[in-house]
Amino acid sequence: MNHRRTLIGIAAVAALILAAACGGGSSKNATPTSAPMSAPTTASPAPTKASGTLILATTTSTQDSGLLDVLVPMFEEETGYTVKTVAVGSGQAIQMATTGDADVLLVHSPAAEKTMVAAGDGIERALVMHNDFIFVGPSSDPSGVKTAKITNDAMNAIATGKASFISRGDNSGTNALELNLWKAINISPKGQSWYEETGQGMGATLLVASQKAAYTISDRATYLAQKKNLSLDILFEKDKALLNVYHVIVVNPAKHPSVKVDAARAFAAWIVRDDIQKVIGAFGVDKYGQQLFIPDAGKPDPTGG
C-alpha cells in the first residue's frame, strides 16, 4: 500500500512538472507565480481630416503671381479640404458672394468689400496682407510719367500726353483703383482714343500693354511674376495712394445656406495664422529679391476695418 501511494505521489509530481514546462495546466483560480503581462498599447488614431470642396473666389493677382500655387496645396494637405479656386476680378468675386456661389473670398477692393459686408453677404472680414500698385509702360516713357512726384501727376501726364493706356475694365480691385484715380483729377478717360479696356485679368492686360507699348497700372506682384515676358518698366511707384490691401471674408451662411461655412472659416483662420503669414512674407524673395506680399494679420487695418 505504501509502495502504491509513493508511485501515485511520484506520478502526480511528474505531471505538475510537465504541465509547468508546457505552460499549461493552471486553473483560472491558480495564484500566478509572476506578474501578469501588461495589455498591449494601442496607438492613438491619427486626427481625422475634413473632406469636401471649398470654393475660393479671389483675384487674378493672387493667381497670376503664383501665390496660390504655394498656399492652396498646403491648405489642402493640412486640412483635407479640396479647394476650387475661381480667380477673377475682385468685383466678380464679390458678386459670387452676393449670389452664394462662393464660400470664402480673398480680395482687394476695400470699398466694395465693405458694401458687401454691410449688405449681409459677408462676415468676419479680416486683414491678410498688402502690396502696392505701380505704373508701368515703355522705357521711352513718351508721356513723362517718370517725372511725377505724386500719383495725380502721373495720371495727368498720361492724359495730357495721350500715349496709349490699357485698362483692365473688368470691375476688379485694380480697375476700381484706376477709376478712382481718374476721378481724383476730374478726367473721364472712357471713349478717348488713347484709352483701351481689355475686360481681362492683370496678366493678360500687362501682355496687351507690352505688345502696344502702352501704359497700365498693375499690382507689383503680378508685374514681377510676368516681367520676363514684358517690355514694360516701372515708371512710378511707392506713393501712399497706391496701397493694395487684401482681406479674407467668409460668405454669410445665414443669408446663403449652401455656403460651407466650416470650410470657409477653416481657410480664413488658416491664412492669418503666424506660420502661414511667414510663408506669405517669404514668397517671391528668393526669385525676385523682394517681397511680393507683406503679411498684415493682426496689424491695424489701413482701410479702416
Tens of pLDDT, residues 90-108: 999 999 999 999 999 999 9
Confidence class for position 46, pLDDT limits 50, 70, 90: low
pLDDT score, position 47: 61
Mean pLDDT of the chain: 88
pLDDT tens readout for residues 56-76 = 999 999 999 999 999 999 999
pLDDT tens readout for residues 207-219 = 999 999 999 999 9
What cell numbers appear for 233 in the block?
518698366
Is the pLDDT reported for residue 37 higher than 60? no
Q: How far is CA 271 from the centre of its chain?
A: 6
pLDDT tens readout for residues 242-290 = 999 999 999 999 999 999 999 999 999 999 999 999 999 999 999 999 9
- Return d(Cα 272, Cα 15) in angstroms, integer: 74
Is the pLDDT reported for residue 38 higher than 80? no
DSSP 31: P
Q: Which residues contact 198 (CB under 8 A, 6 or more apart)?
A: 166, 167, 168, 169, 170, 204, 205, 208
pLDDT score, position 304: 83
CATH 3.40.190.10 range(s) for the chain read: 53-131+243-295, 133-242
Which CATH code is given to the segment(s) 53-131+243-295?
3.40.190.10
3-state secondary structure of 104: strand
Q: Which residue has the higher pLDDT, 251 or 15?
A: 251
Residue in 251, 284, 36, 34 with CA at minimum distance from that of residue 124: 251
% of the chain with per-residue pLDDT over 90: 81
Q: Which residue has the higher pLDDT, 60 or 22?
A: 60
Is the pLDDT reported for residue 50 higher than 50? yes
Q: How far is CA 11 from the centre of its chain?
A: 82
CATH superfamily of the domain spanning 133-242:
Periplasmic binding protein-like II (3.40.190.10)
Confidence class for position 9, pLDDT limits 50, 70, 90: very low
Is the pLDDT reported for residue 198 higher than 70? yes
Q: Which whole number is the average pLDDT over 226-246?
A: 96
Q: Which whole number is the average pLDDT over 70-88?
A: 97
The region of weakest confidence among 15-24, 44-53, 113-122, 195-204 is: 15-24
Q: Which residue has the higher pLDDT, 46 or 16?
A: 46
DSSP 250: E
Confidence class for position 11, pLDDT limits 50, 70, 90: very low
Is the pLDDT reported for residue 234 higher than 50? yes
pTM over 0.85: no
- Return d(Cα 112, Cα 92) in angstroms, integer: 11
